Amino acid sequence: MYPLILHKNLTLEKWSTHSKGQQILMIANELHRAKNFIRSGKINAVNLCYERAFELTDLTSSDPKWRGHGRELRRFRELLAMQYINPKKDEQMNWALYIGLIRLSAEASRLLYPAKEMEEKK
């Protein structure tokens, strides 16, 4: 793991204490922040959100509990990088990344969409 720049006090050991769902939601939070900055046209702030999401995604990929899901996390990171280098930030792509990320964890999905889960049980 490379030295973290934006999360200097965060270690893989500390990150690993969080559940898969919590990890996903913390990454998703950066995408949610990015959405708000996209809407207000603050591109530098959007890129900072994405940089924080990159670091958290890399920590997640290094966490042993994600073994077997490396391909999905790498694909998410690749699509995030495409959005990052795009000078015009696409709010729909940001949303698609957000939803795709949330779907990587049943726990995260349940926490964000509890009503939908209840509908599915009926």
Confidence band for 4, pLDDT divided at 50, 70 and 90: low
Note the pLDDT of residue 2: 58
Ramachandran quadrant class, 90 (left: phi over 0; alpha: psi -120 to 50; beta: rest): beta
**pLDDT exceeds cutoff 60 at 110:** yes
Confidence band for 118, pLDDT divided at 50, 70 and 90: very low
Of all residues in the chain, the percent with pLDDT exceeding 70 is 89
Across 11-108, the runs of DSSP E, i.e. the strands, are none
Give me the CATH topology for the region 19-121.
Four Helix Bundle (Hemerythrin (Met), subunit A) (1.20.120)
Give every CB contact of residue 2 below 8 A, 6+ residues apart in sequence.
58
Q: What is the pTM of this model?
A: 0.86
